[in-house]
Amino acid sequence: MNPRLLIPLAVVTATVLSADAPRPVSAKICTTCHTTAPGNLRGYLDNVVVKTGSFQLKLDEATEVLRYDKAGLKVVSEEKADSPEAALKAIKKGHEVRVEFTEKDGVKTATLISVKPPVKLAAADMVSTEEVQRLVALGPEKGNYFLFDSRPPVRFNEGSIPTAVNLPFPAFDKNVGKLPADKAALVIFFCNGKTCNMSPSSLAKARKLGYTNAKVYVDGMPAWYAKHYGVVSPASFKEAFLDKDIPAIVLDVRPLAEARQGFIKGSVSVAPAGLKDLLANGFPAAKLKPPVLVVDAEGGQAARAAALEIVKAGYPGVNILTGGIKGWQAAALPVETGAPATQVAYVPKLRPGAVSVAEFTRLASLAPEARKEILILDVRSPEEAKAGMIKGALNAPQDQLESRLAELPRDRRILVHCGTGARAEMAYNILKDRGYNVAYLNAEITIIDTGEFTID
């Protein structure tokens, strides 16, 4: 075996929900504006696998795997497509959808997928990214504006637009004291993009309170992060990332001598002049969307310049630390001294149920008789499996899994793989919900006729 990528992470173990616990039918954020009727689900579209006529729907921590029949599926979307399946494939991963389904023998089959459309507001009620950028550059006093982030605190803590104050729509009525006394002042609400209703709903509430110059930045955080950096306070970064053990890249752009006197744990020291080379040679791929926090002495020009350079290199989700390291220390948060790292070592957190490449490689490389407590489950099609299978593996295509459960052991750990990880994750969710001890490989794997494999 010659695996190309080894990530030394511990196995993520799935927790099986209690059989008595009701399964969620909606993502929590959807309940802010919607109720969910029986036979419906509201969540975020995840993987779509055309080969098996299946897709995944994320409902926060829960995942639903649904089938679809090309002949019986209807997709309601403002995007035009040649067929319902083409319309399904065109939906961006993470987009909010409502799914109508039928259920037979525990298998849900989608009959209708309604794609959440962009919010519709009059042009006079909206402001552009360029206008928000202009105002932020002036600041609230010179710009004479008030900027409110309508998202829940958990999202605000991950980063927001500079000068924004968190006024979450779900708790709007409890926080009206944050609004300005002057009801003719320019008040701008924003949330998570064109389909998010929290900022338009905040606008409606503000209008009822008598605010005559309230508007919405409809494009919101996705558009802002695509071109600009955000800000995060020391307490928010600790809560959103450190306390939850969420990996993030912390770049300390102060002179090395200053950084040695005290830096945030895990920081990478880089001089502004060396940032371009670090981005070219030492940064993870932009498609991984790593959270990046830039730290200088006081959250000043050095951090802003570095953050913009990272954004221009194609990385969304870049924030600077409000108040810099001095703000961190003023919040009585811990620092380390000595020599900070100079190379980025970012490893994305595994998706729920995923096994690390290193762990899968170790177990799959064992002879079948040496892994009697493990079953390697190959959920590719029989045609794909003919080209090569890991020795001792069982082939049970993902779209046949429910009808072949009797072949799967309850007393062995099951490691699932496909060719890319998409069908493997669906199989994992199917088996996890039925109480199996299961994990899956979320990576591309190539297997030849000898049973040898490489993982990209």
**Sequential pLDDT tens for the chain (456 residues):** 333 333 333 333 333 444 456 788 998 877 777 788 999 999 999 999 999 999 999 998 899 999 999 999 999 999 899 999 999 999 999 999 999 999 998 899 999 999 999 999 999 999 999 999 999 999 999 999 999 999 999 999 999 999 999 999 999 999 999 999 999 999 999 999 999 999 999 999 999 999 999 999 999 999 999 999 999 999 999 999 999 999 999 999 999 999 999 999 999 999 999 999 999 998 999 989 999 999 999 999 999 999 999 999 999 999 999 999 999 999 999 999 999 999 999 988 898 999 999 999 999 999 999 999 999 999 999 999 999 999 999 999 999 999 999 999 999 999 999 999 999 999 999 999 999 999 999 999 999 999 999 998
Task: Provide the whole-model pTM.
Answer: 0.82
Pick the CATH number of 123-226 from 3.40.250.10, 3.40.50.620, 3.50.40.10, 3.30.497.10: 3.40.250.10
Where along the chain do its domains lie? 28-115, 123-226, 247-330, 354-455
CA gap 247, 9 in Å, rounded:
12
Of 223, 226, 199, give the one whose Cα is nearest residue 121.
Answer: 199
Q: For 107, list phi and psi in degrees, rounded to 5.
A: -105, 120
Could you tell me if 427 and 416 are in contact, meaning their C-beta atoms sit under 8 angstroms apart? yes
Q: Which two tokens stand for residue 364?
A: 């799959």
pLDDT, residue 10, reads 35
SS3 198: helix
User: Residue 108's closest CA among 436, 438, 442, 429?
Assistant: 429
CATH dotted code for 354-455 = 3.40.250.10
Q: In whole angstroms, give the CA distance from residue 447 to residue 250.
A: 38
Q: What is the CATH topology of the domain spanning 247-330?
A: Oxidized Rhodanese; domain 1 (3.40.250)
Torsion of CA 262, 266, 267, 269, to 10 degrees: 100
Amino acid at residue number 54: S
Name the phi and psi angles at 358, rounded to 5.
-60, -45
Angle between helices 220-227 and 301-312 (to 10 degrees): 100
The answer to whether 247-330 and 354-455 have equal CATH topology is yes
What sign results for the dihedral spanned by CA atoms 439, 440, 441, 445? Answer: positive
How far is CA 34 from its chain centroid?
22
Residues involved in catalysis: 418
* Region 28-115: CATH code: 2.40.50.320
Q: What is the pLDDT of residue 233?
A: 98
| Amino acid 158: pLDDT | 96
What is the DSSP secondary structure assignment for residue 238, as one 8-state letter? I
Q: Which two tokens stand for residue 88?
A: 């399904």
Q: How far apart are CA 132 and CA 135, in angstroms?
A: 5
The β-bridge relationship of strands 96-104 and 145-149 is unpaired
> Residue 21: what pLDDT?
64
What is the DSSP annotation of 78-129?
Answer: SS--SSHHHHHHHSPTT-EEEEEEEEETTEEEEEEEEEPPPP---GGGB--H
Q: What is the pLDDT of residue 31?
A: 78
Please identify which residue in the block is written with the tokens 């990478």.
268
